Structure 1
Amino acid sequence: MGELIVASNGTRAIRFGICQRCLSTDVRTFICHHGSCAYCRNCLYLGRVCRCDFLQERDITTPLETTELTMPFELALDQTRVANQLLTWWDGRRTGLVHAVCGAGKTEMTFPVIERVVNAGKRVLIVSPRKDVAIEWVERLERAFTVPVTRRYGGGEKDSIGMITVATAPLLMNIRDVFDYVLVDESDAFPFAFDIALWNTIRRVGRGVFLFITATPTVWQQMFPTVHLSRRYHGFDLPVPALVKQSDERIVEFCRRHTLKPRLLFVPTKPDLERYRETLEDAGLTCRTVSAETEERTDALHWLQETNGVVLATSIWERGMTVRDVQVAVVESEHRLFSTRGLIQMAGRAGRKPDAPTGEVCFFYKERTFRQDVAIRKIKEANRR
């Protein structure tokens, strides 16, 4: 139970062509001090392990602590119902799914069960799909709980594990059987949706009790006991996207129609960022671009809110970002990179604040697709529940 480290004896790091740290079979041959040897490429960022290395477990957990919870706001009736269900599942040591619409206040609904787990002398892990989502979790947890929150993501701590840990999945590959309660946020998002090795990692760090949280669950996640929340905490409907035939003039007109509000335009690929940026700048609009390679995405988020500007973003911002009164458009919404779940999440960026509970959402299209229609239908169904 603990962290796997390279040692002078123990379990062979690579056995039968399988890395014992990450269970990958992506091994390559290189020349080491023992001659020709195989090393694992999949977990190379944790330090190279080869066939002649050994792995041992090291306990890096901190002493047990209790905590006090200060809720940032009083939960609404539906949120309280979900929070009570999570407590019931934990008492019965059951895995479950929270299927809640975008902007329902999912984070705060988990705080009561986190408090109960920690005060029972157990450790909690929150797994996030991306670093910026993890940072938002840490900020909210630190305001609500008195115990320190361990950060296990890029730029965080990797030498200890406290009572509450927030992590991205790749940095958990060398951890075994430490956490009693594992909460997977946005459990259908990239990279979870496409990497079975990450699910093996998440399974091995826990001790059997998991909670999946998302607005767009996959089919296999819906096989678990599920609690639904179809209304946002402020009680207003989800904004329903409008389908608009795409042209540069209509995209510019959308931006000009909301001059006094933040505007967020999703585009399919990184080359599209520059192409549409030129279109908007030629029309006299000032904008910024955000992609996975943008290092300071938080700065762009603050700029969008403070200046009521225009940001062009790839799907990196389809989750985990909230801007008051933002107006949303999806450019080339028929693109194969935009799944139904992704379109729902992008539309869910609008109307998240109680003092700005509505907003315009446009799906610009060159072709109509089944994915667009299903996304709109699911949003309307959630509003009718």
Structure 2
Amino acid sequence: MTTEQAKIAHRLTTQVTDHHLIWAVTGAGKTEILYPLLQLLLATGKRVAIASPRMDVCQELWLRFTAVFPEEKIILLHGKQQIPYAFSSFVICTTHQLYRFYHAFDLLVVDEIDAFPYVIDQGLQYATETAKKPEGQLIYLTATPDERLLKDIKRTFQIHYLPLRFHQRLLPEPRLIFWNNWRRCLNKRKKMEPLIKAIQKLVKKNHVLLFCPSIELMNELQMKLAEWLPTIKISSVSSKDEKRPEKVQAMRQQKYDVLLTTMILERGVTFENISVIVLGAEHEVFTKSSLVQIAGRADRKGEFSNSQVCFFYHEKTSAIKKAVKEIKRMNKAGKLLQ
């Protein structure tokens, strides 16, 4: 744990009656900051839950916490989980599963508090309030809080800001690549050279996450890339993929050179030695927050491998400009801690 992580962890364990927001850049080690507090609460018989809007995030959290707390029976709950629920002092679940609990938890952590659908669903927000005990503690985790959230909690939450990653390297800043009418190029290899060359260059040092604005486009592109780049191991994963957990795990094990995906992997998942490409960064699904999160998949884990982030765009939208500005702002603050 870095000095800055340790400072926040100490505040959490000494201010256990307060609510907290941990606002930290992607890859800063927000999860690790929780370890001392969780250890303290579980040792005194308290009940804790960590919830996230995304199933993939919950799966990764479960893997991490079962390794750190092997003596605890940690229950994982989400819509595709087949194992029946049994009482546990430590629950990891999607935010939808919080409807199952009433005044149950002494501590409730919501990871990726700004993620869809939680951020727009008042029912899920109400379920969060009722799942914790009346005197229970809330902790929110995010790299990209919006102005509304910061305004809503400024008088009731302690806010902790961490602008530097645990490995002390700054965030990779996106390279913006203009590609006029890129959608019209998908069926012709020669016109796809900008993307093909980028992939060929990046896979020399890293594996690649390629984010697409839709499942249909992703499927079409995968077929074309598999034809045009036969020596590169390419797969894809989306919310509709029945083998989604297996494919995400395979990417963790570096079994793919390139994994095409959609917004489901924009946050909360960690892969080693990763570069990132966003195709069609101007699309409306890519908000400022999502672009910051997507860029944050690069260089999260492992030794420095010159991870890069490339945004291919037809139009430089406000979201693209704001995302780049936000990353540069966080890096400026992070340099002060290096």
Q: Into which bin does the TM-score normalised by the smaller protein fall?
A: 0.7 to 0.9
| 1:197 is aligned to 2:123 | yes
CA positional deviation for 1:199: 0.8
CA positional deviation for 1:130: 2.1
Larger radius of gyration: 1
Between the aligned partners of 2:46 and 2:32, the Cα distance in structure 1 is: 19
So what's the TM-score if we normalise by structure 2?
0.87
Between Structure 1 and Structure 2, how many residues are aligned? Answer: 309
CA positional deviation for 1:276: 1.8
| Higher relative contact order structure (alpha carbons within 8 Å, sequence separation ≥ 6) | 2
Matches within 5 A, 1:154-303: 154-155=80-81, 157-207=83-133, 208-222=136-150, 223=154, 224-246=157-179, 247=182, 248-260=192-204, 261-285=206-230, 286-303=233-250
Q: Gapped runs of 5+ residues in structure 1?
A: 1-74
Question: Which is helix-richer, 1 or 2?
Answer: 2
CA positional deviation for 1:157: 4.9
Between the aligned partners of 1:157 and 1:283, the Cα distance in structure 2 is: 42
CA positional deviation for 1:324: 1.3
Aligned partners of 1:89 and 1:96 also within 8 Å: no
Between the aligned partners of 1:322 and 1:356, the Cα distance in structure 2 is: 15
| 1:117 is aligned to 2:45 | no
Between the aligned partners of 2:8 and 2:299, the Cα distance in structure 1 is: 22
Q: Gapped runs of 5+ residues in structure 2?
A: 183-191, 334-338
CA positional deviation for 1:156: 5.5
Report the aligned-residue RMSD: 1.7
Between the aligned partners of 1:322 and 1:121, the Cα distance in structure 2 is: 31
Higher mean alpha-carbon deviation, 149-158 vs 323-332, is at: 149-158
Residues 321-356 of structure 1 deviation map (CA, whole Å, 9 limit, x = unaligned):
222111101110010011100000100000011413
So what's the TM-score if we normalise by structure 1?
0.76
Task: Classify 1:340/1:255 alpha carbon distance in 2 versus 1 (closer, same or farther; 3 Å).
Answer: same
CA positional deviation for 1:221: 3.0
Residues 186-209 of structure 1 deviation map (CA, whole Å, 9 limit, x = unaligned):
111112112111111111010241
Matches within 5 A, 1:125-164: 125-145=49-69, 146-153=71-78, 154-155=80-81, 157-164=83-90
Between the aligned partners of 1:166 and 1:317, the Cα distance in structure 2 is: 18
Q: Which amino acid is the alignment partner of residue 287 of structure 1?
A: I
Higher mean alpha-carbon deviation, 289-298 vs 93-102, is at: 289-298
Give the secondary structure class of the aligned counterpart of 1:184.
strand
Calculate percent identity across the aligned residue pairs.
31
Give the secondary structure class of the aligned counterpart of 2:304.
coil
Residues 261-308 of structure 1 deviation map (CA, whole Å, 9 limit, x = unaligned):
311110111111122223323422442111101122233234444345
Task: Classify 1:381/1:325 alpha carbon distance in 2 versus 1 (closer, same or farther; 3 Å).
Answer: same
